[in-house]
A and B are shown apart, each in its own frame.
Chain A
């Protein structure tokens, strides 16, 4: 595998750990986490950046639970730390999809045993299919419901039904599609390398910040 792709993979893991592991966060550490996370979010192209919004309901739920069960002011600090951690790690995971791309997955699928590799590829494919389906369902629901009226509150309901129903209905289609290909083995994939200067900067930044952190704490 290309060395830079490997470096990107490790960078994403390192950045994730940097934001996830420490339980007590200093101001400096928090600031560097937020900075890294901003850089990663900046890496997400165009309107895909809205995917970060998925994290908001998570943060509200988890921090909300903690808030309800906490009694002392000291714990409020901990709630903020949790919220920041979820946001940073979550957005790094989301942008890793764009930072590393599907290239690492192809390589992994080849490196893993056959069944696991196929499973990984199908899993990824299902996600791509869901993103496509997501757009279609939203378009179709919007065309049938009057968004200006109360009907718009039905969207989540019909959306979940449509999504689930589509998946069940498609089970035999998935099966047929896969079996008809009769894939004997996943041979070495062709990997498309992309090396932007922004990516190189990001890799360097993560390494510098993480090593500074380790040196300061040693």
Chain B
């Protein structure tokens, strides 16, 4: 059974904008998929749907065999980790350490603290453990949010432009962190480097439809890269 399946999904925003139309694909366990497309092609919308933050207007989505619906959405959210393109809205605690600890459900306080410190060390922010994440630089902030998301141990990781506003060392650091995990990932990006170093598969969106789904190495894929990626 695939980890997630998306079956003839369409999404129309309340103001009438048709963001996605008739999308179908499946995500296997451990698969790393790049989601590319021009601005406004529906990448973020697709991620919100998989993150159970929106419900499809048509079609169905299921994760680990559970179909997404009004009644199952909060259960599904527990198994999905989401890194938004604007990460400043996803912090809850006033310092990095406690924010990561909030994502860890099991263990005594000491164990959770030790684990949280490990995640912070993993994203190279252990020196900032008592800083307010909102007052970090944007690259550090992204890594702090990533630590909290990973600490949730999600079955599926959704990343919306994880490399936007990062410099070369930080991008490399984030890519290394993502490579070191075997979690299934779907990441929207405009960076050629991210696609080439991380993706095992690429999905290309155009105007809310999938126009390519397959290996990043094929000639068709390269043609799309020319038009879309930086």
Contacts and interface: CB of A to CB of B under 8 A. Distances in A.
Is B a genuine binding partner of A? yes
Interface of A: 102, 105-106, 118, 121-122, 124-125, 128-129, 132, 170, 173-184, 186-190, 192
B134 A177 contact: no
Contacts, number: 86
Contacts of B109: 187-188, 190
Given A128-B134, A170-B89, A190-B101, A182 B95 contact: no
12 contacts: A105-B94, A121-B94, A128-B134, A173-B86, A174-B89, A176-B84, A177-B90, A179-B77, A180-B77, A180-B82, A182-B77, A187-B101
Contact of B51 (A102, A125, A174, A180): A180
Interface in B131-155: 132, 134-135, 148, 152
Majority DSSP secondary structure for residues of A touching B: helix
Contacts of A187: 101-102, 109, 112
B89 to A, nearest CB: 3
A189 B101 CA distance: 8
B74 A121 contact: no
Nearest to B90: A177
Contact of A183 (B89, B92, B97, B112): B92
Most chain-B CB neighbours within 10 Å: which of A125, A182, A183? A182
A184 B74 CA distance: 10
Contacts of B130: 192
A179 B102 contact: no
Contacts of B90: 177-178, 180-181
Given A173-B89, A176-B84, A179-B74, 20 more contacts: A106-B93, A106-B98, A125-B91, A125-B134, A132-B88, A132-B134, A132-B135, A173-B84, A174-B89, A176-B53, A178-B89, A178-B92, A179-B53, A180-B90, A181-B102, A181-B103, A181-B148, A182-B152, A189-B93, A190-B109
B55 interface: no
B48 interface: yes
A179 B92 CA distance: 11
A175 B94 CA distance: 18
B113 interface: yes
A11 to B, nearest CB: 21
Nearest to B82: A180
A125 B103 contact: no
B48 A176 contact: yes
Contacts of B53: 175-176, 179-180
Contacts of B89: 170, 173-174, 176-178
Nearest to A109: B93
A69 B86 CA distance: 51
Contacts of B105: 184
B140 to A, nearest CB: 14
A126 B210 CA distance: 38
